[in-house]
Amino acid sequence: MKRGKGLTFVGDSRILKYDKPKLNRDYSEFPGRTEEFYPDYLLKEWVTGAVFLIGFLCLTVAHPAPLERVADPTDTGYIPLPDWYFLFLYQILKYTYASGPFNVIGAIVIPGIAFTALLLAPWLDNKKDRHWKRRPIASGLMLASVAIIFYTTWESVAYHDWEQQDAQGQIVFSNLDAEDPVFNELIRTNCTSCHGGELAGGSGPGLIEPDYQPETVEAFVRNGVGEMPAFEDTLTDDEIIAISEFVADLEIVSADEAENTPESEE
Ligand code: HEC
């Protein structure tokens, strides 16, 4: 080691001055600027947590999640709605150039660009300056995304058919026997896509409530009506009669007597 130059000695001795002022410093050096982990810090954490917990509790009491009927993956008439924080993506899928034949754009390309940009942000936005006013491109893009998310979320809520939403998930207690082969082999493949998974209504009207005669149902199934196709050529006579009897037999029952809910299967 070179003598003298660049080295600081403590006093007159040959012991090097301790040169790590920022490391391993004792908290006692900062009176009034530290706090004990227990109980001070932990208590603050707990109070913050409790405030949020109570806030969420009030929200769930004020706006309880709607209780809908048991989810049925074969019920193609049920149009699920994403949770509110995904409504903007859902809304984007409804625009002309993001839906139908352009579905790939709405489902993959647009979210893909957004997420890739987020991933690349640390490399693209790498100026020393951290103040948002001096990073107009990054701040501008951020503000634009927030504005788009707000607008599309609002639009999605404003244009959604909430009545249809409530109706499609409504719990209807009926004597529909989900084990019945007529229901599973004929109705599930031909009717539930429009009339709902439990025939309580979808894009087509509910078939449980009206008190049909088998002949009435048969006439509808044979000839079709409005949006509903005629099944005269697709189904055999026996099948049409079996379906019509099954549908005519449906009725609303009390919750205890219901056969269409899992609880009633015991
Ligand atoms: C493509 C969708 C679709 C399919 C599939 C479909 N329906 Fe319909 N159905 C409708 C629509 C829509 C209506 C209401 C038509 C109208 O009143 O203009 C309707 C009406 C009916 C009605 C008369 C309801 C009333 O009181 O006015 C009956 C009964 C009926 N459908 C039974 C069936 C049965 C049974 C099947 C299966 C074999 C079936 N539907 C398949 C769409 C469909």
Which region among 91-95, 188-192, 193-197 has the lowest average model confidence (pLDDT)? 193-197
Instruction: Note whether 257 and 196 are same-domain residues.
Output: yes
Query: 């099944």: which residue's tokens?
Result: 231
Position 1 confidence tier, pLDDT thresholds 50, 70, 90: very low
Q: Rounded distance, CA 120 to CA 137, Å?
A: 14
Torsion of CA 125, 112, 115, 154, to 10 degrees: 110
Q: Is 70 within a domain? A: no
Instruction: Note whether 153 and 197 are same-domain residues.
Output: no
Helix, strand or coil, per DSSP, at residue 252? strand
Instruction: Note whether 48 and 112 are same-domain residues.
Output: no
Position 69 confidence tier, pLDDT thresholds 50, 70, 90: confident
Domain of residue 242 covers: 181-265
- Pocket probe for ligand 1: among 75, 208, 225, the residue whose CB has the most ligand atoms within 8 Å is 225
**CB distance 211 to ligand 1 below 6 Å:** no
| Domain containing residue 226: CATH number | 1.10.760.10
Instruction: Note whether 10 and 58 are same-domain residues.
Output: yes
Instruction: Note whether 196 and 257 are same-domain residues.
Output: yes
- Pocket probe for ligand 1: among 191, 193, 216, 246, the residue whose CB has the most ligand atoms within 8 Å is 191
- Pocket probe for ligand 1: among 78, 193, 195, 213, the residue whose CB has the most ligand atoms within 8 Å is 195
pLDDT of 124 = 85
Task: Pull the structure tokens for residue 115.
Answer: 């997420």
Q: In this model, does residue 139 exceed pLDDT 50?
A: yes
pLDDT of 7 = 60
Q: Rounded distance, CA 186 to CA 230, Å?
A: 15
Instruction: Note whether 60 and 91 are same-domain residues.
Output: no
Q: Is 174 within a domain? A: no
Q: Is 251 within a domain? A: yes
pLDDT of 257 = 81
**CB distance 225 to ligand 1 below 6 Å:** yes
Q: Rounded distance, CA 157 to CA 94, Å?
A: 13
Q: Rounded distance, CA 245 to CA 114, Å?
A: 54
Q: Tell me which of 1 and 233 has the higher pLDDT.
A: 233
**CB distance 111 to ligand 1 below 6 Å:** no
Residue nearest atom 36 of ligand 1, based on CA coordinates: 191
Instruction: Note whether 143 and 198 are same-domain residues.
Output: no
Interval 217-240: pLDDT, tens: 999 999 999 999 999 999 999 999
Interval 166-181: pLDDT, tens: 888 888 889 998 889 9
Per the prediction, the chain carries an average pLDDT of 86
pLDDT of 260 = 73
Q: Rounded distance, CA 208 to CA 258, Å?
A: 12
Domain count, the chain: 3
Q: Is 73 within a domain? A: no
Residue nearest atom 39 of ligand 1, based on CA coordinates: 191
Q: Is 218 within a domain? A: yes
Instruction: Note whether 15 and 89 are same-domain residues.
Output: no
Position 156 confidence tier, pLDDT thresholds 50, 70, 90: very high
Spacing, Cα 67 to ligand 1 middle (Å)? 26
Residue nearest atom 24 of ligand 1, based on CA coordinates: 205
Q: Is 165 within a domain? A: no
Q: What are phi and psi of 243, to 5 degrees?
A: -60, -45
